[in-house]
């Protein structure tokens, strides 16, 4: 049976050799940065999952120039292994401390990476899960608690939380609280991308009352804009936005 050129390209393995993580993610179909020429955008903006209420009461998506989706790399085990080894080389002293006993994957973006990173660092790995407590409605988003279902952490263990992307650290704080309730404590936060506008090398946890080191493979601030912000208004008003970049990757220039 003959296969199309597109199908063939998907069968060719991605071979990361000394490649920057975001460039590699782009080849997996998971990273886009709006191109520019002479200071002007030559590509579309992207829509984000976050929303805000406009002056007329309608719900509007935030937009921006950068899109990162690490789930696009998960089908390629050798890519995940490559980035895990990069993390280990960058932070081996932090991962092999005597206070590190277990890696905890945050749902669900941290699952695949926590498996590979724990294997590289020779540590246990567990997963936290989401338990829906209120369904989404026309005016509110789904609400969920974090729980340990299939796995658990034991009292006295030092835990590294593993996420794909850290932004506002709200999920991180919930997970810190859950781990504390189990009698364990969070000693590190590891992520592939720290895109926060404010958190640099450490995150202050209200639950712990102290700062927790944030170990990021990539540190890059990614701004989100209201559609009426002057920085993006012209493109947003003209419809120069790919609203669902994950599902419309082909609309983004390479």
Domains in the chain: boundaries:
5-70+222-251, 77-219
Whether residue 246 is predicted with pLDDT greater than 50 in this model: the reply is yes
pLDDT value at residue 18: 67
Summarised one tens digit per residue, pLDDT across range 102-117 is: 999 999 999 999 999 9
The pLDDT value given to residue 132 = 78
CATH topology of domain 77-219: Rossmann fold (3.40.50)
Instruction: Judge whether 25 and 73 are in contact, CB under 8 Å.
Output: yes
Burial class (CB in 10 A: 0-12, 13-18, 19+), 8: exposed
Give the pLDDT score at 27.
87
Look at residue 234 and give its three-state secondary structure. helix
pLDDT at 8 over 70: no
Work out the mean pLDDT of the chain and round it to a whole number.
89
3-state SS assignment for residue 221: coil
As a whole number of angstroms, the distance between CA 250 and CA 188 comes to 37
pLDDT at 20 over 60: yes
Q: For 218, what's the count of Cα atoms within 13 Å in the CB-facing half-sphere? A: 20
Residues linked to residue 213 through DSSP beta bridges, in sequence order? 202
Lowest pLDDT segment from 11-25, 94-108, 168-182: 11-25
Instruction: Please give the average per-residue pLDDT across 191-217, as a whole number.
Output: 96
Per-residue pLDDT, 14 = 58
Give 28-33 contacts, CB < 8 A, sequence gap 24+.
Answer: 28/72, 28/73, 28/75, 28/76, 28/79, 29/69, 29/72, 29/249, 30/68, 30/69, 30/70, 30/71, 30/72, 30/73, 31/67, 31/68, 31/69, 32/66, 32/67, 32/245, 32/252, 33/65, 33/66
User: In whole angstroms, what is the distance from residue 4 CA to residue 249 CA?
Assistant: 19
Tell me what pLDDT residue 49 has: 85
């Amino acid at each position: 049976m003959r296969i199309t050129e597109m199908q063939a390209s998907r069968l060719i393995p991605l071979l990361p050799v000394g490649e920057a993580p975001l460039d590699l993610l782009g080849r997996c179909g998971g990273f886009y940065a709006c191109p520019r020429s002479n200071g002007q955008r030559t590509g579309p903006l992207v829509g984000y999952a976050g929303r805000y209420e406009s002056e007329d009461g309608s719900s509007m998506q935030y937009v921006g120039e950068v899109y990162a989706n690490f789930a696009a790399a998960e089908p390629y085990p050798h890519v995940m292994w490559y980035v895990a080894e990069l993390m280990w080389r960058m932070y081996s002293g932090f991962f092999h401390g005597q206070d590190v006993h277990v890696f905890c994957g945050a749902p669900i973006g941290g699952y695949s990476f926590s498996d590979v990173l724990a294997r590289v660092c020779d540590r246990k790995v567990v997963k936290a899960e989401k338990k829906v407590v209120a369904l989404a409605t026309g005016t509110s988003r789904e609400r969920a608690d974090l729980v340990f279902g299939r796995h658990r952490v034991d009292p006295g263990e030092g835990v590294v939380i593993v996420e794909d992307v850290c932004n506002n650290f709200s999920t991180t704080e919930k997970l810190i609280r859950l781990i504390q309730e189990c009698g364990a404590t969070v000693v590190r936060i590891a992520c592939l991308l720290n895109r926060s506008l404010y958190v640099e090398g450490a995150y202050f946890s209200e639950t712990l009352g102290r700062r927790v080191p944030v170990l990021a493979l990539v540190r890059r601030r990614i701004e989100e804009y209201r559609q009426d912000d002057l920085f993006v208004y012209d493109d947003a008003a003209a419809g120069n936005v790919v609203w669902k970049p994950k599902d419309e990757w082909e609309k983004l220039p390479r």
